[in-house]
Amino acid sequence: MNAELRRLEQNLGYVFDAPELLEQSLTHRSAGAVNNERLEFLGDALIGLLIAEVLWEYFPDADEGTLSRMRASLVKRETLAALARELNLGDYLRLGAGELRTGGYARDSILADGLEAVLAAVYLDAGFEAARAVVLTLFAERLEATSTTHSGKDPKTRLQELLQAHKRPLPEYSVTAIDGSQHNQRFIVRCQLVDMQFHTFGDGSSRRRAEQSAAAAMLEHLI
């Protein structure tokens, strides 16, 4: 194994007994017939199971819907791609000429798939517990943030605290529509992050409830 892949192992906190597994996990289908597509399939299921297990342990009072939403926010493509960037995974991917020309090493989909494949390679190399240890290390900060944002505080408070912790401006809420009769109104509220072009919507029987719904949607995006 070359020195570059040794650095990746250091970033992962795991050393492969079968380095060919790591090499395959980093090989995109554009680079050859022996590639990481099957490993991506296995890694996707593996990460979903491991994160589900951790959430089940961390949040014994959470219902199925809450656990599903938390898992979805942690295993979505954007989160996996962000983790891959923290590992500088794009520097190690083996891509075909076409993908190299179009910047495939920086694309969310390729990075996320690559991370799934690498974690599957760890599983095949050393088993479930080894893969679990790597996943828990990689997701540690995000799992901690998930724990904080599900501590019983309402969504608006949690969103405010999260933004303040990162020294970001507070969100702006605005009513975009009011539907229904006077005694059965439905409020639609937009939650806008003023430091970026992104917003979410929420609805409720009062403006306050709609704001909480919009804040909850924003939290799911940020975490």
3-state helix, strand, coil in the chain (%, to 5): 65, 10, 25
Q: Which residues does 61 contact at the CB level (< 8 Å), separation at least 6?
A: none
- H or E segment at 179? strand 172-179
Catalytic entry in 40, 99, 113, 116: 116
CB 210 within 8 A of CB 189: yes
Catalytic entry in 44, 113, 125, 211: 44
CB 27 within 8 A of CB 35: yes
CB 130 within 8 A of CB 122: yes
| Closest residue by Cα to residue 42 from 117, 113, 139 | 117
| Closest residue by Cα to residue 200 from 185, 186, 184, 188 | 188
d(CA 20, CA 26): 10
44 is catalytic: yes
Q: Known catalytic residues?
A: 44, 116
